[in-house]
Amino acid sequence: MKPFDIVIVGGGGAGLYAAMEAMKTNPALNIAVLSKVYPNRSHTSAAQGGANAALANKAKDDTVELHIFDTIKGSDYLADQDAVEILCSEAPKIIRELDNIGTPWSRLDDNTIAQRPFGGAGRPRCCYCADKTGHTILQTLYEQCLKKGVFFFNEYFALQLSVHDSRMKGLIAMNMKTGKVEAFPARTVLFATGGYAKMYWNRSSNAAGNTGDGQAIAYRAGIPLKDMEFVQFHPTGLRKSGLLVTEGARGEGGYLINSLGERFMSRYAPEKMELGPRDLVSRSIETEILQERGFDSPAGKYVHLDLTHLGADLIKTRLPQIREMSMYFEGVDPIEEPIPVRPTAHYSMGGIDTDIDGRTVMDGVYAAGECACVSVHGANRLGGNSLLDILVFGRIVGHAAAEEAKKFEPAPITPEEIKDAENQLRSYMQPSGHFERYGTLREELGQTLALNVGIYREASKIRKGVSELHGLQERFKHVRVFDTSDVFNTNLMQVLELKNMLDLSETVAAGALAREESRGSHTRTDFPQRDDEKWHKHTLATLEGDRVKLAEKPVTMGRYELQERTY
């Protein structure tokens, strides 16, 4: 195969914006997007609430500066301030560009783009398309990429980077339709594969495919991962499934109610109430449940998200998908009765360590979006900043890769590398002696993380989790794929995803054990205070042998000094 100038791994918002921007930067480039699902089915489509931008349409006194401060404060001061400044400064431009290429934003009465309040924000600045914002943005970007001539390789599973003497030569991937391993020689590779929160199993809002594939490939290639211990739990997942109920439901005026009929957020965030930052609201709900002020049911304990006072018209026009999901998955019509909710593993603040242009330590390898850690979210992401992240940095990294691609001379990927990858896949189908089943290992991984490295963490529990993860990694060596066919071998794909999650879960647990403080989404009951003297720094995780090695990296400061974070 002729070398590509850029191979983008992932067909979500970051990957598609990067492809669109790269083609705009240099239309002569040969650009490929690999995705294990069709791009318009990528997890970006699940983003409901919206994208932040200081347009000042709803609140006339909103400014970029206020957005920057809210983001840094929301991050518990772990975000890199130069990256945050770029994120917030570029936001209005990004929203208007999406508007110009056809994104159907909801509108205010004066026909300007509508904005709603979101958690941790000082002004209503979240731009939205009802409660289907990610879906509409994704369709718009996909159309543009098709129009500009981007090559799509849909239903391809990325396996590994091809690296020789620290030089990246391209990507090796499996064609899911045929089972064949194929080479994609490339001048540059850009990872945009999304997050890894699905490792938490049934208490996760993530799609089944959010298994950290890009981070795991980079990690095994020697590229550091940053701040992996910071996993965000969204306050309002549906009780049974963990599916997301957008923060927009609270932005429109929804109440959180405990079994005593109290709006309990008055105890935890008296000023912001239900629109406190996500880490705080999640801990508050979990505390209410642990202190027996939640509701009980065969599907687990929960609290109520009450929208009934908002009225049928508002719910039908601004939250139609939430109503539909509540009816299908909980048997509850939010027009008539409250929605049962509980925190759900939602977002990965950690990821592949990059600079502000998406470059990694390996020449020619870039990352953008949730799979990257630039770091704009620090210890806790504000609602409405995730779609913004993938759009702003998708654009920036796509431009950088397009500008720099010609610096890297292409090199062939040898037939021996392809054969080795094929043999590795076949080895899962031919274990000898004792074997392990995928389903058992997958269930135990989710339970181990939820019980030991969840919302509340403590040293003895984390150590137990680390020990159990090491045991699962050993048992994985005996995993067996029972389906030996080539065509759409979903059993094989599940096993490959499990390997990625097992590798990454160790970095999450190791970072959580090392960080002896509470900051943002990382809450240690044995170290309940934030410790700026010892822990105002990023953690870096690299693979050494078959175990994680931790290092540190300073936080990039700017005009905002450390201060107490209160709401």
Residue bearing tokens 């240690």: 524
3-state SS string over 59-108? CCCCCHHHHHHHHHHHCCCCCCHHHHHHHHHHHHHHHHHHHHCCCCCCEC
Rounded CA separation 21/94 (Å) = 12
The token pair that represents 220 in the structure block: 């095994």
DSSP string covering 469-532, please? HHHHHHHHTTB------STT-HHHHHHHHHHHHHHHHHHHHHHHHH--S-BTTBEETTB-S--H
Residue bearing tokens 């983001």: 71
Rounded CA separation 19/148 (Å) = 9
Q: Is the Cβ–Cβ distance between 197 and 206 less than 8 Å?
A: yes
pLDDT at 347: 94
Rounded CA separation 387/42 (Å) = 13
Q: Is the Cβ–Cβ distance between 344 and 237 less than 8 Å?
A: yes
pLDDT at 48: 87
pLDDT at 566: 86
pLDDT at 432: 73
The token pair that represents 200 in the structure block: 């938490």
Backbone angles phi and psi of 64, in degrees to 5: -60, -40
Rounded CA separation 453/430 (Å) = 34
The token pair that represents 343 in the structure block: 């925190």
DSSP state of 203: S
Give strand pairing partners of 51.
127
Q: Is the Cβ–Cβ distance between 222 and 549 less than 8 Å?
A: no
Active-site annotation, residues: 234, 250
pLDDT at 49: 87
Give strand pairing partners of 151.
32
Rounded CA separation 389/139 (Å) = 18
The low-confidence residues of the chain, meaning pLDDT below 70, are 202
Domains present along the chain, CATH in parentheses: 237-343 (3.90.700.10), 415-529 (1.20.58.100)
Rounded CA separation 261/256 (Å) = 9
Q: Which amino acid is at 77?
A: Y
